[in-house]
Chain A
């Protein structure tokens, strides 16, 4: 592909390239992201290529080849790209073409031509071929050749991995305008909705995908996003959930067919079992029960069964609990408290599972909103979150020069000072004469920043004092009154369990602690019932420029607090 395509001729889409599924999306003229269905009608396109007598199959068609043509089917390879063979985990790919070492990197030995011989096809080439198919699907749908894309990547994708992906994309005729982080794309997908309100929030994006789970804690401040902490896990996965169902159905099958082979011990049986279990799992996201039905599961025996959602919830319980522990762990890593989390966006295909949402929700206080299909009818399809974010970003930068994009994503621009403490005013409340802190700018806000607050005054108006101060969030824990011991149960054996469940929960609240006082200002002669407007500008050098005035009044007070720090790029 020539470098010649200028910004004007670009056709850019968003691509989410996952280990299990990929998606493509574009942004309409009205600025709305639309996910594109491929020629099979799929919006979640399995990231799989399969070769049958030289013909390349992609997506759902390739996936079904795992049963008959596993050796020439390549799946679950995204995380191998740009990695050395010794540092990849080949487990997920073990049921299709095995990963092999190629020089120091990864390849697959497959028969990908009509010729009767196996070729070592590198993961870069496979990726490139897959991206080409995605590009083709998008081009067919849009009726014009797609030339560029914003592609989402996990937050821990290394530079080497990005370089490899960039090269593979270029091979496929796609100019990568930008790689953006998956969780941030998810947040963007929500914030780009027309009814979205800009507010300071702590957002956790918890992604339970096919081969990994990823959690990111993000400070969202006036539309600027900062990742505070991440957690990556390769044990709590969609494949493991499938496995839980596979074990269940295999056992049920064996109960019915005492002399049959365990389908898990049979390559084809295993592949069929797996495909069907994933389908059952998906069906249980909507229905309260689902049918399992496989022709000739093993040894020519057909098998059908049903399972209800409660059973699945129970079977998967350990994994759901482990996932919610990961989410808590990420919050802890960000040095935050669950009470700090405004919302949790559940992402990844398994976020469709109601029990995932309820388990995570139960681990957080009621003040935290969990956004998933089962908790919120307005939730965006969790499988589509990254690709929608990517499409939106693509539309924003589509017309930028490469140079421009490069400069804008430069650390000189992206590295900024962030407030370590909240900044706000001291107000009067009934009991505390010393003043109650009310934040105006939250901690972890990127500088420079400007914020305005409108503050009430005493009932009679008059002269008021505006104290600007730093505040730190404090978690107030109130222990419940110890309940009088219940009478001993007759049966002593389970009393340790009982003690635990008996224990009343302590009450935890978010409060503010007043820190350093920054300045004092007076507004005189405020009208009865008048309000005061405070506008604060904080520079990257930590200098504060504040303007105080009565709303609707004349004049005002202006004050400057000197900054000290020689800030990055503040010149």
Chain B
């Protein structure tokens, strides 16, 4: 065997690849098939020599070896053929147009579904049985009418064009649409499925979509009906043609029949198209899935509407709530402000009262300090001046300072100490620029 030459390069060894002795087994071979090799040629003989090693094989070995060998020859399936109806055996070959070719070959269970292979097998089965030589051997007559029927059936069914012509008018393959009543008994898919399968045999486009069942998707169902509403049929009606006279004498007559046939074919074709459309209409009308899908669609629409409404309501409620909250906060704020206002008024009043009181204390302190007179009863002028100056101090002080001054004076009875407090106060007023040096004479 010649060496295989591979011109595509091998891949570079990946970084870090290692294996013991540079080889790594990974998987094992898929199972092999036992087959028979042909015992011919010198390559085979070389194989045989190697394999035999001077061994002899027993019958057992032989059986063992062949146990799983793949078969290449077909087994004869006796199944294909059906027995003949005795009436059919009496048919005349010249009436071949009226014969059911599938029945003649014994394949009525297949009809338009029969493959070329099945037709050939069926034909052979019938030939083996009905060839006139077989009948002659049985001492029968030389009657070969049925044999000719078999030949004719085979000729038609093995010719794709002729077969289509026959299949087009093979009523035995038709499946009548079920009545509305039958359909409504819950057998829609079973009954109509068969109808569509049978109608599908005329389809130019294959495969034909299946009717499906109650679990089919909406898409499949829509495809199905679309397919049938756009059906492309190869069905033809030539097979029912009136025979055209075969002689050249009567040209006009010939042309007349031909025209008649053409018209008849066209008419039948139109009728068939109408028939099929009605059939699809009927099925569609009875198809529960269509209703189901429509309802589902409705429900879907409704659901969407309800959802929208609910959302709106929720939004409105939310807005309402927000508004109420805002109002509440506003009210709270106002109340707080009011309260605050009220509080500060009170405080002011209190301060005012306190100030009044303090002023009284201060004035009293002036008296206690003997009007800042050194000793003995103070003259009236001194009293006036001291009281004026005390008032002047008070005026220059705010309430807090007054309170502070009051605090300093509180409890002091000693005239000198009191006078000193006053003097200090004046000093700090002067320092603060609130009084002139010597402005308050009684305290300077």
Contacts and interface: CB of A to CB of B under 8 A. Distances in A.
A470 B45 CA distance: 29
A521 B24 contact: yes
A410 B48 CA distance: 9
A453 B5 contact: yes
A546 B26 CA distance: 13
B21 A465 contact: no
A420 B6 contact: no
A446 B11 CA distance: 30
Given A101-B137, A517-B26, A223 B34 contact: no
Interface stretch (A48-56, A176-184, A295-303): A176-184
A426 interface: yes
Interface stretch (B116-124, B327-335, B371-379): B116-124
Nearest to B8: A427
Interface stretch (A226-234, A345-353, A483-491): A226-234
Interface in B174-199: none
Nearest to A533: B3
Interface stretch (A67-75, A358-366, A552-560): A552-560
Contacts of A475: none
Interface in A233-267: 233-235
Interface string B143-159: 00000000000100011
Interface string B3-17: 111111111111001
Contacts of A421: 29-30
A569 B50 CA distance: 11
Contacts of A142: none
B30 A420 contact: yes
A466 B177 CA distance: 65
Interface residues of B, number: 76
A222 B62 contact: no
A88 interface: yes
Interface residues of A, number: 122
Given A226-B38, A415-B66, A417-B32, A427 B25 contact: no
Given A226-B38, A496-B232, A519-B25, A454 B124 contact: no
Given A413-B51, A524-B13, 6 more contacts: A100-B133, A230-B72, A458-B9, A465-B13, A516-B28, A516-B29
Interface string B111-148: 00000110010011001110111101110000000000
A58 interface: no
Contacts of A90: 131, 133-134
Contacts of A198: 1-2
A456 B8 contact: yes
Given A464-B11, A563-B29, A229 B72 contact: yes
A221 to B, nearest CB: 8
A86 B125 CA distance: 10
Contacts of A234: 120, 124
B87 interface: no
A522 interface: yes
22 contacts: A89-B127, A94-B132, A184-B38, A226-B35, A230-B72, A393-B40, A396-B45, A410-B61, A413-B39, A447-B32, A452-B3, A454-B6, A456-B9, A462-B13, A520-B26, A522-B22, A524-B13, A542-B28, A557-B23, A559-B25, A563-B28, A568-B65
B131 to A, nearest CB: 5
A98 B136 contact: yes
A2 interface: no
B125 to A, nearest CB: 10
B44 interface: yes
Contacts of A561: 25, 27-29
Contacts of B136: 98, 100
A352 to B, nearest CB: 24
Interface of A: 85-91, 93-94, 98-101, 155-156, 178, 180-181, 184-185, 188, 191-192, 197-200, 218, 222-230, 233-235, 318, 322, 325, 329, 389, 392-393, 396-397, 407-421, 423, 425-429, 435-436, 438-440, 444, 446-447, 450-459, 462-467, 470, 496, 515-524, 532, 538, 542, 544, 546, 557-565, 568-569
B215 interface: no
Contacts of B380: none
A86 B130 CA distance: 10
Given A100-B137, A517-B27, A532-B10, A389 B40 contact: yes
A372 B405 CA distance: 139
Contact of B29 (A87, A222, A518): A518
Given A185-B40, A230-B73, A411 B65 contact: yes
A418 B51 CA distance: 15
Contacts of B123: 235
B83 interface: no
Contacts of A459: 9
